[in-house]
Amino acid sequence: MKYFLFVILSIAFSILACSSSDSGVQPESPEKPGFVETYVFLGDPFILLHEGTYYAYGTSEEDGIGVFVSQDLLSWERVPGNRLALSKQNSWGDRWFWAPEVYVVDGTFYMYYSADEHICVATSDHPLGPFKQIQKKPMIEGEKCIDNSLFIDRDGKPYLFFDRFNDGLNIWVAELEDDLMTVRMETMKKCIHVSQEWEEVWPRVNEGPYVMRHNDKYYMTYSANSYESPFYGIGYATADQVTGPWTKHVGNPILQKPGELVGVGHSAMFTDKEGKLRIVFHSHRSTSSIHPRYMNISSVSFEELDGEQVMVIDENYITPKLIVN
């Protein structure tokens, strides 16, 4: 289970510096007197670009979901007053707020997240929130599920990908009603489960799905091994239909222990201001300590290999800074 500790913003940069010119590219220090730097401590991070501003959400708070703001992906700031995007008063659950993803559809912002090991959805009219759960119940009642991710296909049909706790932790998909909140239970279908050798270092885990379409194929990134393992990593599977069948890439993992980072995973993708495809993921604090996990960003490309488009994650990641006044 994805237990986590509080965000620790007072740890000195020198303790946490784990990227070098060989293992990652660090942003330059901002020239702002009176400001100090630390890392952006977020597990299961997700980045939304909206109207020229980046918003980052993730697992970090005990009482809800926090949000960070940036203009350049390198330097991030908290909302004044450290206001939460989602507070537990506006949620069905009251603990274990994990893995939020935020999408804007027809002017409404939808936050899909896990609370008390159940998948939930809340809405707002602004990416900063406050997000409120209109239906004070989980999307799937009576069953623990986590890591929900929205995908809307070319025909406008919405789907929800998520993890179920059966046969270990594995990834499923289901259609949503047009309200983007109601799961069509009769459409639930299994996508992938632990099946490759690299995924068997730690107990049975396939989690953190994110789906995109490239050309005429669907790509699902996912993470395997427990998030506690230094061998936590990212793989992907492909399908010709959004509901599968899904086939895992034979070259998995595509990101595991890049540079000096360990425990990398639970990723999501987004397109930056220059139109470049990016991926955001978390890593352990260090090679000897898991928490607090922090956010890293890299680039994604597709390369031709044996007649197929292969997804590649650039190992020259950046580890953004949090600017604290």
Whole-number Å distance between alpha carbons of 275 and 296: 19
CA angle 155, 57, 207 (to 5 degrees): 65
Instruction: State yes or no: is 31 an active-site residue.
Output: no
CB atoms within 10 A of CB 190: 15
Strands 75-78 and 321-324: parallel
Q: Across the strands, what pairs with 301? A: 312
Q: Tell me which amino acid residue 72 is.
A: D
DSSP single-letter state for residue 291 = P
Instruction: State yes or no: is 143 an active-site residue.
Output: no
Q: Provide the token pair at 163.
A: 């993890």
Which one from 200, 207, 240, 315 is the annotated catalytic residue?
Answer: 207
Residue 306: is it exposed, middle or buried by C-beta count within 10 angstroms (0-12/13-18/19+)? exposed
Q: Is the peptide bond before 292 cis (omega within 30 degrees of 0)?
A: yes
Q: Provide the token pair at 219.
A: 């790509």
Which one from 22, 37, 44, 117 is the annotated catalytic residue?
Answer: 44
b/e 80-114 (16+ beta carbons within 10 angstroms → b): eeeebbbbbebbbbeebbbbbbbbeeeeebbbbbb
- Coil vs helix vs strand at 80: helix
Catalytic residues: 44, 207
